[in-house]
Each structure stands twice: as structure tokens, then as C-alpha cells.
Amino acid sequence: MDNTSDLIGILLDKTANDAERDDAAIDLGFISNNEAVEIALLTVANDEGTDEMIRASCGESLAQIWIENNVLNLKNISLLTGIAFFEALEIFKKKNSE
């Protein structure tokens, strides 16, 4: 069963509790080759009104997706701001050190 739409809905729902939104962000990191997932994660990652824990998880998930799709590069990471940028950069550094 594909629950991608449900996860995106939870992530984008500013009335959902932070733990649910964070879990959705993390789970979306395992779904590659889905533009809607990347757009949702980017939207929340760069939303300064969103809790930093959620923004960080979005950055990590985007980095995971980009690694999986072989498109993890500085251009993509530069789309992120704040804590999401730093979390994605850490994933990038870790991957390059392996």
C-alpha cells in the first residue's frame, strides 16, 4: 500500500503535532524518484515557522533521496536554508567520507 500522499499531507499540515510531522518527514526520506515528495520536503525544510526538529529531518530526508537518486550535490543542498541545509550537508560529508 502506497501511503505517500498521506505522509505528504501530514508533513504539510501545520495543525498536526510536531512528532507526527517529524515522523512523516523521516518516512518520506525512503521514497525516491517522487517529485511531490521532494517539493513537500523542500517546502517544509525552508519554512522558518516550522519547528527546527522537523526542518532538520526534512534536510536529512532530502539528502537521503538525493543520494539514492545519485543527485546529491552542492547545487541541490544550496536549495535548503537553516538547519535543513546543515543536516543535509552533514549527510553529504558522511557519504563522501565512506
pLDDT tens, N- to C-terminus, the chain (98 residues):
479 999 999 999 999 999 999 999 999 999 988 999 999 999 999 999 999 999 999 999 999 999 999 887 678 888 999 999 999 999 988 887 87
* Residue 35 CB contacts under 8 Å (≥ 6 apart), including other chains: none
pLDDT score of 96: 78
pLDDT score of 74: 77
pTM of the model: 0.92
pLDDT score of 1: 46
Q: Are the beta carbons of 7 and 27 closer than 8 angstroms?
A: yes
81 vs 44: CA distance, rounded Å: 10
Return the DSSP state at 73. S
